[in-house]
Amino acid sequence: MRHRGTGYWLWTNTRLPFQTYEEVLGNGVQVEVRARISPLGFAQVFIGVYGRNGWAISEESHDRHGGEPRALALRWGVARAREIVLETQAFVAPHRVQLALGPVITDESVLALRCMEMTERERLKLKSDDAWIEYQAAKASVLTLMRSTKVDPRVWAEQKERLLQAIDRRACVQRAYLSCLRSMSAAEPQ
């Protein structure tokens, strides 16, 4: 259960529809990002990061550009949440897997599939597939930049960070998936 702070209550408006992204990281940190379009046409984003106990580590709200699609604002919010998580976590050696958020899914049919009742193994398999797809896309993007004759340093830094996040995400999800498979096979009678 999350203990909402004033940032959340000041942002909330039950009359406006929003898209949401939620994830619980391996260390118990809960991330929630919501995006909506204001009556004036501006994208508005709420970013909440909550500790294992549900208390707010950070709650932020941002007004984005006019005409920006809600899905794009949601992606920006998840990127900002990633920064907050990295800023607030204790030091982790660079050779260790870092905490990484999953990909933002805005397709309604895919989201509906994710909300179906699934076993832990099925849920982890979907996460594993998502992590693999994101890794492949990030790798292809970096390879394209490496083949270019001119690259903007900001674009390079963004794509490099995307690839590092994808690698870490894939390693975390694969570890959890393989652990689940091992525990399931150990639980089966011989």
pTM for this model (two decimals) = 0.59
Q: Which two tokens stand for residue 25?
A: 């990281």
Contact 86, 100 (CB under 8 A): no
Q: What share of the chain is helix, strand, coil (3-state, %, to 5)?
A: 50, 20, 30
**Which amino acid type is present at position 133?**
I
User: Residue 49: how many CB atoms within 10 A of its CB?
Assistant: 22
pLDDT per residue, tens digit, the chain (190 aa), is 678 888 888 888 878 888 888 888 877 888 999 999 988 888 999 999 998 888 888 899 898 877 888 888 998 998 888 888 888 876 666 666 566 666 677 777 776 666 666 777 777 787 888 888 888 999 999 999 999 889 898 989 888 888 888 888 888 777 777 777 777 676 666 5
What is the distance of C-alpha 172 from the center of its chain? 13
Q: Which two tokens stand for residue 166?
A: 């994808």
**Which amino acid type is present at position 62?**
H
Contact 33, 47 (CB under 8 A): yes
